[in-house]
């Protein structure tokens, strides 16, 4: 996985599991992965050491990866989107329209279906 793919993957995990990590880790990961701030910039903005920023990034990233390893919500989301694409190949226009609505919901936040 190249650095761009890693950033995209971690952004997705942050979207899914961000509320499960500490507020500080979430904010630092947001600064680093979404806003593309350097460790030095984050440290200056938060008035903390670069080491503290690096530690928060490392621990927060590991927690996100652990949650995905256990819960596999991102993987399941991608599987659902692949299934939708496959079904769309042989669907009529009305069904495609409904599948596209479902696809938007999956892509933009409704990832867990409890039932």
Looking at the structure, tell me whether residues 46 and 100 fall in a common domain.
no
Task: Note the pLDDT of residue 109.
Answer: 66
What are the DSSP calls for 18-71, one per residue?
A: GGGS-HHHHHHHIIIIIS---HHHHHHHHT--HHHHHHHHHHHHHHHHHHHHHH
- Does the pLDDT of residue 114 top 60, yes or no? no
Residues 52, 42: contact at Cβ < 8 Å?
A: no
Task: Note the pLDDT of residue 56.
Answer: 98
Looking at the structure, tell me whether residues 61 and 86 fall in a common domain.
no
Domain count, the chain: 2
Residue 115 belongs to some domain of the structure:
no
pTM of the model: 0.82
Residue 97 belongs to some domain of the structure:
yes
Residues 56, 25: contact at Cβ < 8 Å?
A: yes
Residue 93 belongs to some domain of the structure:
yes
Residue 64 belongs to some domain of the structure:
yes
Looking at the structure, tell me whether residues 9 and 49 fall in a common domain.
yes
Residue 112 belongs to some domain of the structure:
no
pLDDT tens, residue by residue, 43-98: 999 999 999 999 999 999 999 999 999 999 999 999 999 999 999 999 999 999 99
- Domain hosting 10: range is 3-71
User: Which CATH number covers residue 42?
Assistant: 1.10.10.10
């Amino acid at each position: 996985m190249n650095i761009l793919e890693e950033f995209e993957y971690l952004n997705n995990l942050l979207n899914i599991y961000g509320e499960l990590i500490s507020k500080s880790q979430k904010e630092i990961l947001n600064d680093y992965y979404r806003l593309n701030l350097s460790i030095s910039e984050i440290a200056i903005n938060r008035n903390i050491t670069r080491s503290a920023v690096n530690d928060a990034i490392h621990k927060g990233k590991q927690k996100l990866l652990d949650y995905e390893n256990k819960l596999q919500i991102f993987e399941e989301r991608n599987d659902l989107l692949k299934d939708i694409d496959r079904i769309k190949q042989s669907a009529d226009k009305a069904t495609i329209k409904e599948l596209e609505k479902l696809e938007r919901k999956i892509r933009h936040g409704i990832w867990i279906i409890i039932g």
